Structure 1
Amino acid sequence: MSGKELLYAASTIWVVVAAVLVIFMQAGFAFLEAGLTRMKNVGHIAAKNVLIFAIASLVYYMVGFGMAFGDGGNGIVGGSGFFPAVEDLLAIGKEPFSWFGQIPGAAAYLFEVGFAGVSLAIVWGAMAERTRLWVYFAFGVVFTLIYALVSHWIWSPDGWLFAKGMQDFAGSTVVHYQGALAGLAGAILLGPRIGKRGADGKSNAIPGHNMAFTTLGVLILWFGWFGFNPGSTLGVDFGGVGFFAYVALNTNLAAAAGVLGAVATSWLVIKKPDLSMMLNGAIGALVAITAACAFVAPWAAILIGFVAGVIVVLGVLLVDRAGIDDPIGAIAAHGMAGVWGTLSLGFLTVPSLAEKLATGRGGLFYGGGFGQLGTQALGLAAVGAFTFTASFLVLLLFKVTVGIRAEPEVEEAGLDVSEHGMWGYPEFYIPVPGGYGTERHGHMVAAAPAAPAAVSAAPVAG
């Protein structure tokens, strides 16, 4: 085996391993979202994460991968690689996916579809506990195509924002900002959950049911991010042999700083080191460093992460005061932190790293002027206008024609039984021999309808 073939083999192994880590992040989202929502919706949340990745996988294979990275396109969309054939998926550095110079198209697809699935997972966090199941199917297809278009703009060498030098190494804008924008559109159209707003218009807390689940979810996501960011080198020698380790270092430093930034801000603002804020601080920092991980010095990664932790705490409170019900904090953690991470490059990009990666220029703090900051802001404005508008209009069409929100009695009973005919915690709801009978335990009633058809009689948990 020649040296070139060894390089291809090593790069392929690395990217497939990274792809598996990214795909495993769906488990992190499942635990994170289940923990921050109520018991009556846990089964629904778990099913959603499996369902959306299945949808994204098929749609991205059929058209999304070609739209994002297919050769022969233009600045807006790729022009080939739809329903890729055997030859397309085995080729290395050749049409229709010549952008992937050291790995076969199959490895590239597996890695990139993981990103599409993550972005789609973010959408539903802001729409949790009140969205009808069919919307996941319909909007999942549409959003996968929206995502593919924007990823072409920024990540494909044919993309118009790529040509302008926009820096977004692993997707603060492409993945996280986009997901948060669509989630924001959905949350606005859905309105708050029943009981979220009191008669006086003030917000009521609806706590999640299991913070241990949430903590496990965040740790899984933190672990998965070592595929997300370092894997975006798409080869073992991109930026120099071992450069992916540098990307991993910056990723970890930022996440750690984000935890501390969120704890400090939570302690100052709400007078308690709130665990949910701490965990979202880690997520927000990981989101922010996703754009910058390959372009900045370690000290800057710490700064980016710490500021992101501050932004997440203040952002969650701001979103709530604006009357938007975001059960997971996705708009702050993925949207606001994504904006900060993208803009931070306009200040903090090391010129030598921009030259090494052949993308954009150095940041303002390194004497690079305002050029890179302007490019970053342009990208955010273009993606924001397109993704939010497209998502809002599609979801609005669904709302006025078929309806996107569960009926009040269904929402109060919980989406587990109404949408799936089962419960995430059946022993709390179904009388069983030697079980709970009809006794009351805390705020939950053990007696429940014998069949899903009797949904209106189901207990309200959480």
Structure 2
Amino acid sequence: MLDKSMPKKIIAAGVGALLLTVPASAEVTGETAYIFNTLLFLIGGFLVMWMAAGFAMLEAGLVRSKNVADICVKNVALYALASIMWMLMGYNLMYSGVDGGYAGAFFSLWNPDDAAALAEGAAHDPAGYAAGSDFFFQMVFVATTASIVSGTVAERIKLFPFLIFTAVLAGLIYPIQGAWKWGGGWLDAAGFADFAGSTLVHSTGGWAALVGAIILGPRLGRYTKEGKVRPMPGSSLPLATLGTFILWFGWFGFNGASQLALGTAADSIAISNIFVNTNMAAAGGAFAAAIVTKLVYKKVDLSMVLNGALAGLVSITAGPDTPLPYQATIIGAVGGVLVVFAVPFFDKLKIDDVVGAVSVHLVCGIWGTMAVPFTYADASFGTQALGVAAIGAFVIVTSAITWFALKFTLGIRLSDEEEELGSDLAELGLEAYPEFGRGSQKLSA
């Protein structure tokens, strides 16, 4: 009778024989490591690019229906504009010739330079990668920074002044402060640690958003004369939930690919641990937010749970490579608790943040940065505080100058009538949900 397991036995024997011919200490060639490193950047890059969709859906779900199309336009346009500014000047400003200083090359167009890698017979550096893969991976980070701002100032800011601010943020503000650490600048020399950007990306976006919200002012009717907060529910919590899961998914590229190499077994192990810690921090943040809102408000607040997951992700981003999984869960859980109390705190100050981005990205970005020394022996609390303060001061000043310049020239805020109508009709002349909106009411009338 035919033994059905025979083909499997033959294959297993063949594989075993093949493995015996491979030296146990075999290492990949420089060219192979170069290819793996490049692939890591590209995969990480398109995962982070997908986060742009997550921000768009999260914000679309948390703004009111009359502003959904406008926030979608802002998210698409800011990604495109940030990409262009990164090519025109941002990349070289952040990475070219910083050498322990404060900035790289101003107004310098980026071009790929892979001549050495393509030269016939050239030896590939095992730590190397294609120039375009690095450019792409770094580019999607600046777009993430700009996306943080859009949610905070939603529902009352004009489209084109917002895009001008995005251009300044992507072309000047973000790359200059980024050069201080990731470009090999003075903060890097001082020993400041920020693995994937709790401060360089998230706090930077949070500071810019906070300054914008203060200068712009709250939405009409958001706060009563007595100082109470008037609820303004978003258009779709399921959409916001989808956006959160997309961001959670994309964050594996955000943190994992920040290892910057995949040419050795050690790199593979590190990336795997980063994935685990990233996931556990998000889980800790979401669960902690659910528990705290139940205890404080007697009900579980879905929007807080979503922001709790994001708070956990932001909190672990500065140091996802060193904690054990339970430590990452705790770091994320602290972020989830912080965001529950930060949102009403800013409301008490009458700082209107539509999606809670300042609480998530600024507050938890600072916490995550300051938490690094708990699990990373080479980091110090003093140096971490120095980096947080220096970058915060720089972003506050430069953002304020830009916001005020726009306010006193073009104007940054919709008129009261336009805000009441909704930015969809006021800015775009269309509605995201026309069958339920004012357009359908006019037709029925």
**Do both proteins adopt the same fold according to a TM-score greater than 0.5, normalized to the shorter chain?**
yes
**Which residue is 1:269 aligned to?**
296
Match of residue 45, structure 1, among 64, 67, 71: 71
Q: 1:241: how far off?
A: 3.5
**Separation in 1, partners of 2:239, 2:444:** 27
Matched, 1:420 2:428: yes
Q: Is residue 167 of structure 2 the alignment partner of residue 135 of structure 1?
A: no
Q: Which amino acid aligns with 1:292?
A: G
Relative to structure 1, the CA distance from residue 92 to residue 167 in structure 2 (aligned partners, 3 Å threshold; closer, same or farther) is farther
Match of 2:50 among 24, 35, 39: 24
Shift of 1:265: 1.2
Partner of 1:7: 33
1:345 corresponding residue in structure 2: 372
CA distance in 1, matches of 2:285, 2:151: 20
| Alignment deviations for residues 242-292 of structure 1 (CA, whole Å, 9 cap, x no partner) | 311111110001000001111111112222110000000000000010001
Secondary structure of the equivalent of 2:408? helix
- Looking at structure 2, the residues matched to 84 and 180 of structure 1 have their Cα atoms a distance apart, in angstroms, of 27
Change (3 A) 1:427 1:376: same
2:59 to 10, 24, 33: 33
What is the distance in 2 between the residues matched to 1:191 and 1:430?
26
Q: Secondary structure at the match of 2:370?
A: helix
Is 2:351 the partner of 1:324? yes
AA partner of residue 251 (structure 1): T
Moved more, 13-22 or 296-305: 296-305
Deviation at 1:80, TM superposition (A): 8.0
Contact 2:37 2:127 in 1 (8 A): no
- 3-state secondary structure, aligned to 1:260: helix
Aligned pair partner of 2:186 in 145, 160, 169: 160
Give the AA of the match of 1:79.
Answer: A
Q: Which runs of 5+ in 2 are unaligned?
A: 1-27, 120-124
In 1, are the aligned partners of 2:308 and 2:337 still within 8 Å (CA)? yes
Larger-Rg structure: 2
1:255 and 1:4 map into 2 onto residues whose CA distance is 36
Q: What aligned pairs does 1:294-373 form with structure 2 within 5 A after superposition?
A: 294-349=321-376, 351=377, 361=378, 372-373=380-381
Letter of the 1:324 counterpart: I
Q: Does 1:447 align with 2:418?
A: no
Conservation of the 8 A alpha-carbon contact between 2:307 and 2:356: yes
CA distance in 2, matches of 1:291, 1:93: 35
Distance 2:117 2:82 in 1: 24
The alignment status of 1:409 with 2:417, answered yes or no, reads yes
Tell me the equivalent position of 1:195: 221
Distance change in 2, residues 1:100/1:82 (3 Å): farther
Q: State yes or no: 1:375 paired with 2:370.
A: no
Q: Which structure ranks higher in relative contact order (CA pairs < 8 Å, sequence separation ≥ 6)? A: 2
Q: Which amino acid aligns with 1:30?
A: A
CA RMSD of aligned residues (A): 2.3
- CA deviation profile, 1:323-367 (whole Å, cap 9, x unmatched): 110010011000100010000012232x3xxxxxxxxx05xxxxx
Other structure's SS at 1:328 match? coil
Deviations 1:287-316 (A, max 9, x none): 010001012222211110010000010011
CA distance in 2, matches of 1:345, 1:90: 39
> Structure 1 residues 142, 198: CA separation in 2 closer, same or farther (over 3 Å shift)?
same
Instruction: Report deviation, 1:89.
Output: 5.5
- Confirm or deny: 8 A CA contact 1:72 1:80 kept in the other structure: no
Please report how far the alpha carbon of residue 62 of structure 1 lies from its aligned counterpart in structure 2 after TM superposition. Answer: 1.1
Q: Read off the aligned partner of 2:134 and give its amino acid letter.
A: A
- Asked if the contact 1:65–1:81 (Cα under 8 Å) also holds between the matched residues in 2, the reply is no
Please give the secondary structure, in 2, of the residue aligned with 1:84: coil
Question: Separation in 1 of the partners of 2:116 and 2:427?
Answer: 43
**AA partner of residue 380 (structure 1):** V
Q: C-alpha distance in 1, partners of 2:32/2:203? A: 37
Pick closer, same or farther for the CA change 1:266–1:90 going to 2, 3 Å: farther
1:167, 1:376 within 8 Å by CA — same for their partners in 2? Answer: yes
Question: How far apart, in 1, do the equivalents of 2:401 and 2:413 lie?
Answer: 16
What residue is the counterpart of 1:400 in the other structure?
408
Matched, 1:122 2:130: no
Matched position secondary structure for 2:442? coil
Aligned residue in 1 for 2:21: none
CA distance 1:40–1:211, shift in 2 (3 Å): same
In structure 1, the gaps of 5 or more residues are 352-360, 363-371, 437-445, 451-462
Separation in structure 2 between the aligned mates of residue 49 and residue 100 of structure 1, nearest angstrom: 37
State TM-score, norm by structure 1: 0.85
Quickly say closer, same or farther: Cα 1:231–1:285, change in 2 above 3 A.
Answer: same
Q: Kindly provide the amino acid, as one letter, of the partner of residue 124 in structure 1.
A: S
1:31, 1:108 → 2: CA distance?
27
2:252 to 226, 233, 239: 226
Deviation at 1:17, TM superposition (A): 0.9
Tell me, in whole angstroms, the C-alpha distance in 1 between the residues paired with 2:173 and 2:31. 36
Decide whether the 8 Å contact of 1:90 with 1:106 is kept in 2. no
Alignment partners' CA distance in 1, 2:98 and 2:210? 34
The code of the aligned residue for 1:308 comes to G
How high is the sequence identity, in percent, across the aligned residues? 40
Hey, what's the Cα distance between the residues in 1 that align with 2:403 and 2:224? 26
Of residues 198, 204, 213 in structure 1, which corresponds to 2:230?
Answer: 204
CA contact (8 A) 1:31 1:214 kept: yes
Which residue is equivalent to 2:111? 85
What amino acid does structure 2 have at the position aligned with 1:382?
A
Does the 8 Å contact 2:71/2:150 carry over to 1?
Answer: no
Distance 1:333 1:90 in 2: 43
Q: Distance in 1 between matches of 2:325 and 2:118?
A: 32
Which secondary structure state, in structure 2, belongs to the residue aligned with residue 292 of structure 1?
coil
Residue 68 of structure 1 and its aligned partner are, at CA, apart by 0.9
How far apart, CA to CA, are the structure 2 residues paired with 1:91 and 1:255?
A: 41
Structure 2 counterpart of 1:396, one-letter code: F
CA-to-aligned-CA distance 1:423-442 (integer Å, 9 cap, x gap): 111222376xxxx6xxxxxx
82, 85, 92: which is aligned to 1:56? 82
2:7 aligns to what? none
Cα separation, partners in 2 of 1:70 and 1:203, compared to 1, 3 Å? same
The letter of the residue matching 2:132 is: A
